[in-house]
Amino acid sequence: MTFPDEKFAAIGNYADAYFEKQQAASASVDRDALEGALELLDAAYERGAVLYVCGNGGSASISNHLACDHSKGGQTDTDLRPKVVSLASNMEMITAIANDISYDDIFVYQLKTLAEKGDVLLTVSSSGDSENVVRAADWAKGQGLDVIAFTGFDGGRSGALATVNLHVEGDNYGVIEDIHQSLMHILAQYIRLKRMDDGTIRDRKF
């Protein structure tokens, strides 16, 4: 069974149950894996490498949001200039690849065009098994790029391919995506925070 597996008498009851699942899901994230993802991103940003991000649906939204927060936020009040590209943002490119080649190739085709040695790929997929995400992760791994995978459910193929798998134990898309969004924010804010002086930290909103 997955959550929810029954009707609820009132939305407040459902909210309580949802937030309980959300809390358990956030606690399930391996903190060592989180540290590993931080180290990969830190090193990539410091050496001027590009972070590519991809996902479908709600995960595409998280990919685009990540590109904003890591790039804009990461350089605010710091000495970093994070280079982040969401492969889910260029609709003209996505539809051209999907129409002329295959929807399964919308991310890997862009990677083959843009990625260089030393770059990093971050995939966002609740199932971990979206074919276009898996193809991108498989190609990146084959080219020697590190791969960070945000996953849920059983982790899927992208989780197995990843250098670092930030896995959320959950069986509800909304809950998993909530935690993926939180992980994106946590990484972005911590990378910024560690490079700011104490006085500036106290004067800023995060």
pLDDT digits (tens, 9 = 90+) for 12-54: 999 999 999 999 999 999 999 999 999 999 999 999 999 999 9
Q: Quick count: other Cβ atoms within 10 Å of Cβ 191?
A: 20
* Residue 206 falls inside a structural domain: no
**Tell me, what CATH number does 185's domain have?**
3.40.50.10490
* Residue 22 falls inside a structural domain: no
Taking residues 136-155, what's their average pLDDT? 98
* Residue 23 falls inside a structural domain: no
Using the predicted structure, report yes or no on whether residue 202 has a pLDDT greater than 90.
Answer: no
Q: Which domain holds residue 91?
A: 31-193
- The pTM assigned to this predicted structure is 0.96
What domain count does the chain have?
1
pLDDT digits (tens, 9 = 90+) for 88-140: 999 999 999 999 999 999 999 999 999 999 999 999 999 999 999 999 999 99
* Residue 25 falls inside a structural domain: no
How high is the pLDDT of residue 205? 81
Q: State what percent of residues in the chain have pLDDT above 70.
A: 100
Sign of the C-alpha dihedral, residues 172, 176, 177, 178? positive
* Residue 9 falls inside a structural domain: no
Using the predicted structure, report yes or no on whether residue 198 has a pLDDT greater than 90.
Answer: no
How high is the pLDDT of residue 164? 98
* Residue 66 falls inside a structural domain: yes
d(CA 2, CA 11): 18
Residue 129 in contact with residue 49, Cβ under 8 Å? no
* Residue 202 falls inside a structural domain: no
* Residue 160 falls inside a structural domain: yes
How high is the pLDDT of residue 126? 98
